[in-house]
Structure 1
């Protein structure tokens, strides 16, 4: 059977061992020297050993006391280190996500997040292996049918974006270029370009279709070339607000994709909950004007 001892008694012993004095231990722990002596005496009785030699002006560790002092010193140092790490985790929200979502959604809105929550630092990592980062909140892109409703942040709407009106595109002498995405992860549903073209009574043969494996690249290339890009509305809201892109033609079209946080309910710290609520509003609203102010 494990021996049960008081944590406060171990604290008193550890302080007295470090200072070689019950008085100085009492000052550190905001107790009286009598209380320190009482805690240590109870600990000695519980262990049935002598931990200190009591001398007129100081106390000295016995051989057994030295053994316990080494253990308590290491143990309390480990606890204090863990508490410091936990406190840092509560001050920093670590987020891992796709390069497109990081560059086009989270990083542009980072200033707004800091203004709303000045005591929380958001650190964003992106790449294909970010799910392996410890203590990070993963924001991923997946198929709606594979993601539980409670884990979803958004259900993605897609549209064609550029700087020309649909009529100008239809009347163009050259076939316009449309950038779209062919996912590296082939399990993901394709962007609904064919459905969008059919909905707007357009033919795929009237366009030059070029593909990247990340939406970020297609969006950047469309801006550079003054071309068209078929992509998620969520990713280009900021660029549309800045006048770099505008929706072309008719309405957006629903896709089979969503952004989500796997097992979202497991993130229960106050700051994680605040971040999740914030990002859900950010990607779930038609307009993010108030979130970026």
Structure 2
């Protein structure tokens, strides 16, 4: 194609706006220029073409037969360019993915790593959804989740990430090192916890550890693990919580695990809606969790 025979693009752009709006003033407003600038571009186009494309009168602007033919071609060309550009932008723009999980998992584990995740998978615009129940997953809604349980989970595509254990932790400031020290420590309880089963409470743990004579009902009570762990970090007592969720606080020295006895936990799984498991964004998200959370030895 000989591009030297194409009219100037700025003139075609002005002509398309005038023809579509049947008004120099309206076209000028659409293109954020003055009516005089629009008139100049139309004159440039007509001079280049050697024919009139518009008939102007005080009351109306109409297309000449030649102008009508040119408008149909220009409108079709601009329309096709717009469609292709929109598709290309959609292919390169970050795709929104909504991930659901519990308040505890998002707060303790994922939020501290969210910048790392976004740098690793820049094509995803990740939205977090907090829920302590298993939400329905579907394409265009909540597409993925991190679930805690034994599995399998019906109605979703599930990928095992890692097993978990429940362990007592506290601030090193409490100076606990022997089981007998628990007799004088404040026991922190997390209420409403339904996983794992049996409930990882102090009565169960003391029985496993062979520690008797401890009032396992006494102590502070909190409605979720986030508050309970913060209380333990502040030196207010000892709490039994998920080793996966405690990993950062233990690594930073904010908490210590003074006792070797642990309780079995459940497992973490990456799950997604049926039908989206092969999408590139979902596959990349699943692989990131497998790399950063998967294959952990709970012992």
Which TM class, normalised by the smaller chain length? Answer: 0.5 to 0.7
Cα distance per residue 1:209-259 (max 9 Å; x no partner): 554443222211221243122111111101100011122412433224534
Query: How many aligned residue pairs are there?
Result: 238
Cα distance per residue 1:136-161 (max 9 Å; x no partner): 65333343234278433233321111
> 1:140/1:286 Cα in 2 relative to 1: closer, same or farther (>3 Å)?
closer
Report whether the alignment pairs 1:200 with 2:196: no
CA distance in 1, matches of 2:68, 2:198: 71
> 1:99/1:133 Cα in 2 relative to 1: closer, same or farther (>3 Å)?
farther
Give the drift of 1:71. Answer: 6.3
Matches within 5 A, 1:250-289: 250-263=260-273, 266-286=276-296
Q: What is residue 237 of structure 1 aligned with on the other side?
A: 247
8 Å contact from structure 2 (residues 188, 220) kept in 1:
yes
> 1:223/1:152 Cα in 2 relative to 1: closer, same or farther (>3 Å)?
same
Q: What is the DSSP-based 3-state SS (H/G/I as helix, E as strand, rest coil) of the residue aligned with 1:255?
A: strand
Q: What is residue 91 of structure 2 aligned with on the other side?
A: 86
Structure 2 unaligned segments of length 5 or more: list them: 13-45, 54-65
8 Å contact from structure 1 (residues 95, 122) kept in 2:
no
8 Å contact from structure 2 (residues 158, 272) kept in 1:
no
Point out the structure with max Rg over C-alpha: 2
1:127 to 126, 130, 134: 130
Give the drift of 1:118. Answer: 7.7
TM-score by length of 1: 0.60
Matches within 5 A, 1:44-63: 57-58=48-49, 63=68
More helix by share: 1
Q: What is residue 26 of structure 2 aligned with on the other side?
A: none
Cα distance per residue 1:25-72 (max 9 Å; x no partner): xxxxxxxxxxxxxxxxxxxxxxxxxxxxxx995396664774676566
> 1:270/1:142 Cα in 2 relative to 1: closer, same or farther (>3 Å)?
same
TM-score by length of 2: 0.59
1:108 to 101, 109, 112: 112
1:219 to 229, 242, 247: 229
